[in-house]
Structure 1
Amino acid sequence: MSNRLADMTTHEAADAVRRGTTVLLPVGAFEQHGPGLPLATDIVRAEAVVERVADQLGDGVVVGPSVPVGVSPHHLAFAGTLSLRPATFVAVLHEYLQALAGHGWRRVLIVTGHGGNNAALGVLAQDVLRDLPDLELAWTPVTALAADHVGAMDVSEVHGHSGEAETAQMLHVAPDSVRRDLLEPGTTTLDELDPLSHLARTHGPPTLALPYDRLSKNGVLGDPRRATVDDGRAIIDLVTQRIVTFLAEWSTT
């Protein structure tokens, strides 16, 4: 039987609750990723990780519905980007969680492919403690969970959005969606940044939020041409295994 909630009947869903399964919710963003990556990059990566986790854990988990649009006001200067207000994003997920908890699920893990969702997910977690005290909620980013591997890669001085690590992941999980002939570097050195952008990229905390069209003309931080499939596979495998390890321990507590 499939462990995807969308494929289950209502009786199968009730059985999954009785088995004490953990629900996995992928969330992402619908935003620019430079000239060479698709707007759906963040949800593609989150779903890819969740699918791999679910494959390893089988009937111990249930894959719930994705949230493909996230908190992306910093990318709105670039065509195609859609964004939810943080309060809207939190409200949508809260409704998901309230329904899942009402059916009897007690553990939910949210996997976000978009770092811009992190602050809102922190707020959601606090709301859940107050509003849904019987539900245990955990959440994790994707790339940051493999920060040690990314740190060992050959990355630019300035790197991140649509850069080496993110492009590498897409080359592994969705190679046909990468426009390799259109990949081009964005901002790669601190010297390319204006004083305020330089401050934002070299200090933190304090954290200074800026729109991405100020940080990079093409929306890219780093040089995606340096991305490799091997690095992408290593990142995704590492993230998957760390989540699997966490879930295995969580299920026994």
Structure 2
Amino acid sequence: MRLSEATWTEVADLDGDLALLPVGSTEQHGPHAPLGTDALNAESVAEVGADAFDGEVVVGPTIPVSVAEEHRAFDGTLWVSPDTFRAYVRETIESLAHHGFDRVVVVNGHGGNIDALAELCRRVSRTGDVYAVAFTWFDAVGDHSSDMGHGGPLETALLRHTHPELVREDRIDEARDGGADRWGEWVSGVNLAHDSDEFTDNGVVGDPAKGDADRGAELESLAADSLASLLDAVESRKLD
């Protein structure tokens, strides 16, 4: 059930305690992919993962703005501070718990959110009346995970499968040629670049041409299966 499409009476009739909360970002993804890529991908994975799960789970509304200041040089990127982001997600989780959804999986689509989400899920689980964990879809797709970039093959592939009309196919070559091979500028294990425009001219990392719709369908299936397995574990976990 998508929470935003349900009535309050339909929610009141539910017996389950599981919820998914998609979290993305509004940030540049090169000249070929939309600013909402991370939010769209998180939402797609959450919905297909909910369908793959053999049980009752609600899918909350997608949180579209998050920790993305590293992309501030590119027009249209929006961001909030990590403190603001953690507070917003925490209070959203707590409001889900107020209605009985006290086991929450945050479905994340943006690498810049990973540290903040891990910290807040630990904190809310230790101190609140809810158990929460964070799931990042591109870390749960097997060997494909090693090919993750930014606006690169994985994100572009999933979009080509789920929202093909939003991919600017005539700009794929431009995206590849102006992009970087890897994220950051590394010396002695330290990333010297704080912002993405320091190492990629157009915001892209990786080759989006390597992410076709068939690969996107495989990524969606792998991510959904991983998410469904996680929901099984969260549902059966004994909590104090």
Q: Normalization by structure 2: what TM-score?
A: 0.89
* Offset from partner CA, 1:54-77 (integer Å, 9 cap, x none): 223376100111101111000000
Asked whether 1:243 is paired with 2:239, we answer no
Taking the aligned partners of 1:11 and 1:177, their CA distance within structure 2 comes to: 35
Deviation at 1:93, TM superposition (A): 1.0
Show the 5 A alignment for 1:147-162.
147-151=142-146, 160-162=149-151
For the Cα contact (< 8 Å) 2:23–2:107, is it kept in 1? yes
Partner of residue 143, structure 1: 138
Asked whether 1:163 is paired with 2:152, we answer yes
Partner of residue 219, structure 1: 203
Helix, strand or coil for the counterpart of 1:60? coil
Deviation at 1:21, TM superposition (A): 3.3
RMSD: 2.1
For the Cα contact (< 8 Å) 2:33–2:166, is it kept in 1? yes
Q: After alignment, is 100-109 or 66-75 more displaced?
A: 100-109
* Offset from partner CA, 1:32-91 (integer Å, 9 cap, x none): 000000000000000101111222337610011110111100000000000011111111
Structure 2 residue ranges without an equivalent (≥5): none
For the Cα contact (< 8 Å) 2:53–2:229, is it kept in 1? no
Paired letter, 1:63: V
Q: After alignment, is 121-130 or 137-146 more displaced?
A: 121-130
CA shift in 2, pair 1:217/1:209, >3 Å: closer
- 2:29 paired residue among 30, 33, 54: 33
CA shift in 2, pair 1:59/1:8, >3 Å: farther
Helix, strand or coil for the counterpart of 2:236? coil
Aligned length: 234
Structure 1 residue ranges without an equivalent (≥5): none
Q: Normalization by structure 1: what TM-score?
A: 0.85
CA shift in 2, pair 1:106/1:150, >3 Å: closer
Paired letter, 2:93: L
Taking the aligned partners of 1:125 and 1:138, their CA distance within structure 2 comes to: 5
CA shift in 2, pair 1:208/1:241, >3 Å: farther
Moved over 6 A (4+): none
- 1:199 paired residue among 177, 186, 198: 186
